[in-house]
Amino acid sequence: MRVVKVNNRDTSPKPLLGVLSLQVEAAIVEAGVDIDGMMAKFGDLNGQLNTLVSAGQLSDDAGKKLENTLGEMVVHMQCFDLLAQKLSHVQQALALLEAEIPSDLCGDLSRKLDEKVKGLYSCADELKIHVGADDVASRASPELF
C-alpha cells in the first residue's frame, strides 16, 4: 500500500486517509467533467430551439415540450455540481480527521482496514489510486471490474 502524506501538524505518513482523500478528489474531477461546457451547450440548444419556433419550422407546442426537457436536463446537470461540492466537503472532513488522529493509531487502523477498503471499489481507477499506481484523479471513463 502506498503511503500518502498530506498537510498535517506532524510529518508522519497517514496512508488510508490520504488515499481516501485522493479517491474523493478523483470523484470530484469525474463529477465536474465539464459542467460549464454542458450548460453552455444547453443554452445553445435552447437558442436554436427558439430560432426554429420563430421561423415556423417547429410548432409552439413541440417547442415548449423540448424547452421543458432542456430545462429538466439543466437541473440534472446542476446535481453534478452539487455532488462535486459535497464530495469536496467530505475531502475536507477527511483532512480534519487526519489532523486529529495520532499517527500511530492512524497507521494501525490503515493496516487493519486496507483490504476491506479495497474491496469496496467498483472500478480499476479506484484501485489504482489506492495502491499508488495513479496519483492523479482519473480523467478517463472508469473501467468496471
Mean pLDDT rounded to a whole number for the chain: 75
Cell, residue 109:
487502523
Q: Does the pLDDT of residue 143 top 60, yes or no?
A: no
Q: Does the pLDDT of residue 49 top 80, yes or no?
A: yes
* pLDDT per residue as tens digits for the range 60-109: 898 889 889 988 888 887 887 788 788 888 888 888 887 888 777 877 88
Can you tell me the distance from the alpha carbon of 35 to that of 46, in angstroms, rounded to the nearest whole number? 16
Q: For residues 137 and 22, is the Cβ–Cβ distance under 8 A?
A: yes
Flag the least confident range among 2-6, 21-25, 123-127, 135-139. 2-6
Residue 1: which pLDDT band, with cuts at 50, 70 and 90? very low
* pLDDT per residue as tens digits for the range 109-131: 878 888 888 888 888 888 888 77
Can you tell me the distance from the alpha carbon of 15 to that of 22, in angstroms, rounded to the nearest whole number? 11
Considering the entire predicted model, what is its pTM? Answer: 0.57
| Annotated domain spans of the chain | 15-131
23-27: average pLDDT: 81
Residue 8: per-residue pLDDT:
37
DSSP class of residue 101 equals S
Q: Is 97 left (phi over 0), alpha (psi -120 to 50) or beta?
A: alpha
